[in-house]
Structure 1
Amino acid sequence: MTSVFRFAPSPNGELHLGHAFSALLNAKLATAAGGRFLLRIEDIDTTRCTPEFEAAIYRDLAWLGLEWEEPVRRQSEHFAEYGALLERLIRAGLVYPAFMSRGEIRAHIADQETLGRHWPHDPDGAPLYPGVDKQLSRRERRRRIDRGDAFAWRLDMEAALGEVAHPLFWREARDEGLAATERIDASPEDWGDVVIARKDVPTSYHLSVVADDALQGVTHVVRGRDLYFATGIQRVLQELFGLEAPVYFHHGLVHGPDGRKLSKSLRDSGIRVLRESGATAAEVRRMIGIG
């Protein structure tokens, strides 16, 4: 079977050295395996993603010497496909419309902590969603949706895990050789009822990435360590949709001089900035350890 790797950036900011490392590593591993290297544009956030940032992605990756297969899959062109998957979850009763605003969530959690309850947090440190909407009747949910209330579709994690007949795990490569893997037990319950889709966007990162990796035949998901624990959420969705799980390899992150993880929002070590300051692609490759 041909190995398939992918680099899937979101065009909501300029690429930095961390993106360059991930893209170049994927391309390197694809070449070593005699496989394919795909570029995918994850632009479901139609507010923050722009054509200008997308064009910059192509420009920066080409400057680094990367080549990818055409056509490039752009997620914003496939909302109908994701919507069909969402509808399957709705029909199965595995998602529910969540109407609580951020303020209401904070107030609910504060009330519970006042009563002495320690509120759980997800692996990223965010408080779990209270899930009180699950108690709403079907009629009340429909009334609020028809009224135009803001909501998000959240996965009922307890119900979803009830549909999985065996313990969840994924195969994690031990190193860049990818030959040896270890079984990693997944704990999606640590994330609570995660957002699966929005009121006006019928998908989320987790739903679209699971769908696209399966559709494109991705065999190896090579991405940053910051997404390691989120793999558990994606394993739940893969099981619910009957999709085969790829092998995962979560590489180390590129950090700035102050030890922070690089961020688009802070414009850390941007590829464009480095290029315009006179750096060469070869120098950038050496900076991140991929010659």
Structure 2
Amino acid sequence: MFATRFAPSPTGRLHKGHAFSALTAWTAARDVGGRFILRIEDIDPTRCKPEFEAAILEDLAWLGLDWETPVRRQSDHLADYAAVVEALNAHGLLYRCFRTRKEILDAIGDAPHGPAEAVRPGPHAPEDEARLLAESRPYAWRLSLDRAREALGEQAWNALSFVEEGEGADGESDLIRAKPETAGDVVLARKDAGTAYHLAVTHDDALQGVTHVVRGLDLFEATHIQRLIQTLMGWPAPTYRHHRLLTGPDGRRYAKRDQSVTLAELRAGGLTPEALRTELGF
């Protein structure tokens, strides 16, 4: 059965862009009698707040959306993600990275072949790793693309692909060859959370039976590395449908970091859900 999801992070109030994305996914499921799943992606312990989670539920209900219950909250399932990290590490696909963000940014500036080299810092020398562990220094777990490629073999690596029912940034659609190397050695377990976005989202899509990932175009590039993780773990490959990003009067896309007008503010100003849905094309 068709199943899709809307998976916001409770780091602020929802805005029109969120409403457009949620309505796009919800309508896609409703039109074919499928499932619509709401998931709370709250693995960032510093930015995610319970009050924002409550506000998400309030805003989506105001829009007229309904969803399956119970709602999965990622912070309640960190042991699930730890098990995936353990499995990947048991196959030698991960390495510890003790480097700070500043050290990695500095390495980008020093890289002789440009920034692309810096997203693949590689493991520390064994003696350095032993010393850092002895000092109880915090570390992240990174996925080694070199080891993943070797584990899969060249034929399977070159066959990595995904189906895109929407369009990528350059108009890509239909069957697209996945290029995980564009993401580099991504972090799969953060120092502060024990997991990271790419691991948690692919795990939960597989667990919850998501057949169609309907989301914004800003996440199109993430699909490449997520297909690799799905393949390494033997998880099914959903179909992808990336939609356009909603922009404000100034031409900039709506974003929390830009303090875009929230749904709560629009509601307080007298906007009805029917009017907003019409404005957004639903």
Same fold (TM over 0.5): yes
Aligned partner of residue 118 in structure 2, secondary structure: coil
- Whether contact under 8 Å (1:161, 1:236) holds in the other structure is no
Match of 1:148 among 123, 136, 148: 136
Structure 2, unaligned runs of 5 or more: 168-172
The Cα of 1:118 is off from its aligned counterpart by 3.3
Matches within 5 A, 1:219-238: 219-238=211-230
- Whether contact under 8 Å (2:166, 2:242) holds in the other structure is no
Task: State the identity %.
Answer: 50
1:146 and 1:266, CA in 2 relative to 1: closer, same or farther beyond 3 A? same
Separation in structure 2 between the aligned mates of residue 212 and residue 191 of structure 1, nearest angstrom: 20
Aligned partner of residue 115 in structure 2, secondary structure: coil
Matches within 5 A, 1:74-93: 74-93=73-92
The Cα of 1:25 is off from its aligned counterpart by 1.1
Match of 1:187 in 2: 179
Aligned partner of residue 265 in structure 1, secondary structure: helix
Match of 2:7 in 1: 8
For residues 217-263 of structure 1, give each alpha carbon's deviation from its aligned partner in whole angstroms, at most 9, with x where no partner exists.
00100000011111011001000100010100000000111111211
The Cα of 1:161 is off from its aligned counterpart by 2.2
The Cα of 1:145 is off from its aligned counterpart by 2.8
Structure 1, unaligned runs of 5 or more: 122-126, 176-180
Name the TM-score, length of structure 1 as normaliser: 0.89
For residues 72-117 of structure 1, give each alpha carbon's deviation from its aligned partner in whole angstroms, at most 9, with x where no partner exists.
00000000010000011111111111122222223333333xxxx2
Match of 1:54 in 2: 53
Match of 1:119 in 2: 114
Match of 1:240 in 2: 232
Match of 2:119 among 112, 126, 129: 129
Question: Does 2:60 correspond to 1:70?
Answer: no
Separation in structure 1 between the aligned mates of residue 270 and residue 92 of structure 2, nearest angstrom: 56
Separation in structure 2 between the aligned mates of residue 30 and residue 107 of structure 1, nearest angstrom: 45
Alignment RMSD (CA, Å): 1.6
Match of 1:22 in 2: 21
- The more displaced of 194-203 and 278-287 is 194-203
Name the TM-score, length of structure 2 as normaliser: 0.92
1:174 and 1:106, CA in 2 relative to 1: closer, same or farther beyond 3 A? closer
Match of 1:178 in 2: none
1:119 and 1:280, CA in 2 relative to 1: closer, same or farther beyond 3 A? same
Question: Does 2:124 correspond to 1:159?
Answer: no
- Whether contact under 8 Å (1:11, 1:41) holds in the other structure is yes
- Whether contact under 8 Å (2:216, 2:244) holds in the other structure is yes
Separation in structure 1 between the aligned mates of residue 53 and residue 214 of structure 2, nearest angstrom: 21
Separation in structure 2 between the aligned mates of residue 146 and residue 65 of structure 1, nearest angstrom: 54
Aligned partner of residue 265 in structure 2, secondary structure: helix
